Amino acid sequence: MPGTTTKESTKTLLLEKGTEIMLEKGYNNTGIMEVLQSTGVPKGSFYHYFESKEDFGLQIINYFDQASKEKLRTTVLNQSISPLQRLKSYCELGIEHFLSQKCRKGCLISNLSQEMADQNEIFRARLLEIQNENTKVFATCLKEAQEAGEISKSFNTNDLAELFQAAWGGAVMRSKICKTVEPMQSFMDMMFGRMLTP
């Protein structure tokens, strides 16, 4: 059904463009009109796919999360390489991607968490859910690194996963302000060269 394809493409186009704009400008500062103008989609169509700006924002979060989960699948969950190497691949991919974006944007989940945590309970609940899912993926990988003897057995891998993600998110934020990937690189040097070494 070509009709279905077109409808799906329009929705995907709106989600794609909305993600790009929201990554740079945040949720509150993103206007629906700007999204419509940059895609050429009429207003009526927009409200066919999305109930409201809030619904659009939540669907953008899910759209971004799907892409993030795919990145986790090819790195942190990639059983063909060692657990510690998987975490390194995740960070290397992050640096590569951030450079390709000219050190702009960063992670939508972090950006919106910072912006919306005190503003909207529905957003907060969804962002918390995604953060928790991701922390579990990192904790499992760190547990496997421990079992493989790559990191010390004395770590609490849940706490370590929290620290790993907090520090990585902080390094990305710092890189956004510096407009270089040095803080992300420094994170990798410290984490893999010093903190996680047995």
198, 151 in Cβ contact below 8 A?
yes
Q: How many binding residues for a copy of itself (CB under 8 A)?
A: 48
The number of helices, as runs of H, and strands, as runs of E, in the chain is: 9, 0
DSSP class of 82: -
What is the rounded distance in angstroms from the CA atom of residue 16 to the CA atom of residue 2?
20
The single residue listed with the structure tokens 């057995």 is 153
Which window, 41-49, 51-59, 74-82, 104-112, contacts a copy of itself (CB under 8 A)? 104-112
What character string, x for contact with a copy of itself (CB under 8 A) and - otherwise, covers 131-150? x-------------------
- Rule CB under 8 A: which of 9-28 touch a copy of itself? 24-26, 28
Which window, 43-51, 55-63, 71-79, 167-175, contacts a copy of itself (CB under 8 A)? 167-175
* Interface residue with a copy of itself, options 19, 110, 134, 146 (CB under 8 A): 110
* Interface residue with a copy of itself, options 29, 52, 62, 74 (CB under 8 A): 29
What is the rounded distance in angstroms from the CA atom of residue 167 to the CA atom of residue 4?
43
121, 110 in Cβ contact below 8 A?
no
Interface contacts to a copy of itself, rule CB under 8 A: 24-26, 28-29, 104-106, 110-111, 113-115, 117-119, 124, 127-128, 131, 154-156, 159-160, 162-163, 165-171, 173-174, 176-179, 183, 186-187, 189-191, 194-195
